Structure formats: structure tokens, C-alpha cells
Structure 1
Amino acid sequence: MIRKTALLTGIAGAFLFAAPVLAQDAATQTEPAPAEAAPAQPQSLTLNPGATVKSADGSELGKLVGARNGANGQELTVRGADGVVRPVPVAGIRQEGSDIVVNASLSDFQSAAPIEGEAPAATPPVDSNEPTEPTDPTDPDAAAPTPDKPHA
């Protein structure tokens, strides 16, 4: 019986001796240090051509045409309200609903050089009751209709 008591007392003493060390290890494992916090998960973006591209202040830059690797790295190609396609850097890009928000301001976008090879958007026809027809500038009869001249 004395052997059992001595053995159990020795084991209990060993646990009491090791308890502070075990408690420190458990606290270190459950609470990561702020500098060792889990890395942020990469944000998932859905870049659909035609999506609205806005600046961080909420100004609409235009509609997304696509993306490319430009001279300054990756960039979006955006068709502005004037129909010209310009690059926008992807740094700081995020998505808000179906809109894409970038760090570039409206003035930054408008001052960017147009992308060569991208044709401006075709202007929609004027809404009228009469269809518009292309005219030949060398044809004198192709001038705009006048009140004394009926139009076909």
C-alpha cells in the first residue's frame, strides 16, 4: 500500500511541476501573435466585360472592356463615356456588387493615354422617325433634305 501511495504521489507531483509549462504551451498555440495572424485570403473578383468601373470616390469611369499586361504591369481596359478605351491599374481593385472599384480617380483616368488599336465606341443613331442613311460627301444630291426638296 505504501508503494501505491508513493507512486501516485510522485505522479501527482510530476503533473503539478509540469502544469505551468503545459499551460504556457496551450496558450501560445491557441492565441496567435498579432504579427503572426493568418494571412488574408485573396479576394475573388468577377470581371465581366460591360461591368461598371468606378473610382474609389464613387465617380463612374466607364465600362470594362478587358484586362491586359501593360507597360506598368496588369491593368484593366475601360471604355469611358467619351468612347475612348484607356488603361486603369489594378492596384487596390475590389468589387462592390457587380461594380468594380479601382484606386484611380476620374481625372487620372481621363489623363491616361488611349490604348492604341481600340476603336472608339460607335455612336448610336439619332432617335427620330426617319432612318439615317450613310451619305457620300462627294454626291451633291446627298445633302441634308431641305424644305423645298422632298426627301426619299
Structure 2
Amino acid sequence: MNKSLADGDELYKVIEEFSDLEWRKFQTRMVMVRLKGGGVYQRDNSKAPPFTTIRFRSENREFVEELRKAVEGYEGDMVWKMFPHQRLMFPDVNWVIRPAFVDEAVAMAGEDVGNSQDFMSEHYPDFALKAYKDMLGLAKHVRKELEKKYKI
């Protein structure tokens, strides 16, 4: 099967091969849940751009820097960035990976846009599919770069 769009979990799965994660969250392009009663719940998130957020079980600064260099060194159809998000009320950091354009678009809006995923879905609905397509290449690139330095 030739897959042309990411589902949204590809990047965290690659990272998890190299480092233990305590927590992860990602934007799933399509949600399908089989209900106990036999029905199926489906939701299409394909207008919301992908992101991957992770927290390491035991953060290794060298690994974080290698991962950041791999993400930001990817030369695909768009620029991707990795940045820390300090958790409120807790000492740990969550690391967010997403297309740089999300932050640029929010900054250009010049106002509090609320949820960036909702903002992007409403104002840039075609962007997300391009990002899901590019995410496949990003995940492959990150795996290749991390394999150079770390054995799995």
C-alpha cells in the first residue's frame, strides 16, 4: 500500500524507537472509534495541521538536541520546528513539533486566536493536507538522522 498522507502518529512512533516517552499527544487526521453498541464514531481532522507533542521519561539533553537538529534540518515541502512548552504546575517540559507556518500564521493574525488548530482549520484549511503529506518525509528523515547516532 502506497501511503500518501500521514495519519499523525508517525513521528512519535519514530521518536519512541530511540527514547522512552512518558507522554505523547498528536493530531490524528482521521478518527474512527468502534462503539460497544456496534456503531462507529468518525471524525475528519484533515483541516487541522499535524503536531506531535512528547515528554521524555528521562530527558537527555544530547538526544533532545539531536532530535531538534533532525526535525529542523529536514528539507521537505515546508519548514518544521521543535520547541519546548513548559508545563504549568509541573517541572517537566513537553516538546512540540509542528510546521513553522502555524506559528507564523498565528503571529500574522496579530490577535489572540485561541486554539491554533481551530484557527488554522478555519483560515488555512488547505494547509493541513500539505503538512500531513510532508510529515511522512519528516518521519523518515528523523529516523535516518537518529540512526546515524543511536542504535535501536
Between 1 and 2, higher relative CO (CA 8 Å, sep ≥ 6) is seen in 2
Band the TM-score falls in, shorter-chain normalisation: under 0.3
Query: Relative to total residues, which structure has the larger helix share, 1 or 2?
Result: 2
Give the TM-score of the pair, scaled to structure 2.
0.21
In our comparison, the structure showing a higher alpha carbon Rg is: 1
